[in-house]
Homo-oligomer: A and B are copies of this chain.
């Protein structure tokens, strides 16, 4: 399924790299980055694109894997966790690196090996593969590709590449079903999500994730502490490193590509949040803060960080180092708690890199617009250029219901200054869980923010899309303007509200000025009759005379 009849998904080159090709009415085509994947039947899953690439490297082995436990799906699974029974796709054993080997893209890159994943990404980004390899090797970019997620179409996250967008989905204790979540995944990638995070906290959490991974053409991220908390019935103080470790392995074997790990919430930072207006708002951050305080011990994610690295290295899972102390309102932005944690995330970044494990670092949250740039500047400096991945940030707290917009302002700004991936915020932020419409609005809002940043950064070729659409607009190619827009349906529907007639889609005017006078039209007439590149000093008088001769008016009469 494509979003518009003028769009086709085409596969290019030996690796079959996908693009969305837009057919224009003037015979030209315009190719765009494509995230939506080949499409799948939910019960069968996607083709296993990377399987042969992984096998060819000869550094992985299949193994029996961890046995699925009743608790993996939460208490509710006993009552309603029947979805797994319908699965008709591959039943495969999990993969991991053979003992002593590291299978991360960073590991290969540092050894000068160019993988198929790197080639694929370079073709997708229209850049040299050496840029991909060298940025990966330096830790300034990541390709999140778990060996157990062969269905993924590889993509890259780094400031030298197109700014990416993540969409959060997931059920909660209060609402939604597995089928709904798979549908939201498909819907999110249809509109352009580059990665999807499954933040489920409700029942059937293991099975929901299995279906999401098997149907996802984009990397899947999770926050494993959410599932671990379910396993201890929501009692943070009962969490242990062993339960967490087991949950991480469970998710590694399923194929999760990156995991948010709140290892920077140190015991000594927690009191720094006491004077804040909104304290600790990160769910993972407050779980770990609660655990640290209850036990008066250091965060077990911090103390066991090297063990985590060893696990991640065997599956190529990337760290998304969580900012558990991110500000929850503009008043709390850029404070001691936030920046102390960032220093620790920088330390952890270096430790992960010692294991050749890929890392990105998460950022806020709620930040006044004048303080946005400082966040990415400090993160880039302290974390040696590791990709920054921010939630917005929201630039004001006064507009619940419109926080996709309050945050789009911060998101475009922080991405212009070097953030590599933006986590979307939907209109439901702070108010409820996003439904299908909210997912679409969130993704499109963030795609336009990411693109505005690409244009502002002067990313090679980024503005071509704007120019193609603006040319269509200037030439009154209405159908092309719709087809080239991020959301063709909404653009066309808005146009049709005022001028529904079929003829109006090819008319040389629009509803703003009406048929009698149109500024686009007058300006096109001026260009047509005078040509371009006029010397302003000469020939104007003659041109003027010729202009009057040719009809004398610069408008179309109604």
Which A residues form the contact surface with B (CB < 8 A)? 172-175, 201-202, 229, 234-237, 267-275, 277-283, 285-287, 289-290, 293-296, 328-331, 368-371, 395-402, 404-406, 408-409, 412-413, 416, 427-428, 430-433, 435, 444-445, 447-449, 451-453, 455-458, 463, 465-467, 469-471, 473-474, 481-482, 484-487, 490-491, 493-495, 497-499, 510-517, 519-520, 522-527, 530-537, 540-541, 543-545, 547-548, 552-555, 557-558
Contacts and interface: CB of A to CB of B under 8 A. Distances in A.
A487 B290 CA distance: 34
Given A293-B526, A328-B473, A398-B465, 6 more contacts: A274-B533, A290-B554, A296-B544, A329-B467, A369-B412, A409-B449
Nearest to A531: B274
A476 B254 CA distance: 37
Nearest to A474: B278
B522 A236 contact: yes
Contact of A270 (B290, B470, B525, B526): B526
Contacts of A543: 293, 296
A409 B412 contact: yes
Given A201-B513, A237-B553, A406 B523 contact: no
B413 A456 contact: no
Contacts of A405: 404-405, 408, 445, 448-449
Given A201-B514, A409-B409, A486-B402, A235 B555 contact: yes
B369 A485 contact: no
Nearest to A403: B448
Contact of A526 (B290, B406, B487, B522): B290
B398 A368 contact: no
A483 B241 CA distance: 43
Q: Which 4 residue pairs of A and B lie closest in terms of their CB atoms, listed nearest first?
A: A279-B523, A173-B514, A432-B498, A329-B470
B494 A401 contact: yes
A278 B522 contact: no
Given A201-B513, A274-B527, A368-B455, A237 B552 contact: yes
A470 B368 contact: no
B463 A369 contact: no
A540 B267 contact: yes
A401 B274 CA distance: 43
Contacts of A555: 234-236, 290
A533 B487 CA distance: 50
B448 A277 contact: no
8 contacts: A278-B473, A286-B526, A396-B451, A399-B486, A400-B482, A401-B491, A409-B412, A431-B511
A398 B484 contact: yes
Contact of A470 (B268, B397, B445, B455): B397
Nearest to A514: B173
Contacts of A412: 369, 395, 409
A331 B463 contact: yes
B522 A402 contact: no
Contact of A487 (B330, B399, B517): B399
B229 A494 contact: no
A499 B174 contact: yes
Contacts of A294: 544, 547-548, 552-554
Given A452-B409, A540-B267, A470 B399 contact: no
A369 to B, nearest CB: 4
Q: Which of A399, A490, A553 has the most CB of B within 10 A?
A: A399
B456 A369 contact: yes
A396 B30 CA distance: 17
A448 B400 CA distance: 10
Nearest to A487: B401
A487 B296 contact: no
B554 A237 contact: yes
Contacts of A293: 526, 530, 543-544, 547, 554
Given A237-B553, A274-B533, A289-B526, A510 B431 contact: yes
B267 A398 contact: no
Given A455-B395, A470-B277, A172 B513 contact: yes
A6 to B, nearest CB: 15
A498 B451 contact: no
Contact of A444 (B279, B399, B531): B399
A169 B413 CA distance: 30
A537 B271 CA distance: 10
A201 B558 CA distance: 13
B452 A406 contact: yes
B432 A481 contact: no
Given A405-B445, A485-B401, A498 B173 contact: no
Contacts of A536: 268-269, 271-272
A268 to B, nearest CB: 5
Given A278-B470, A497-B435, A271 B452 contact: no
Contacts of A277: 467, 470-471, 474
A208 B294 CA distance: 68
B296 A401 contact: no
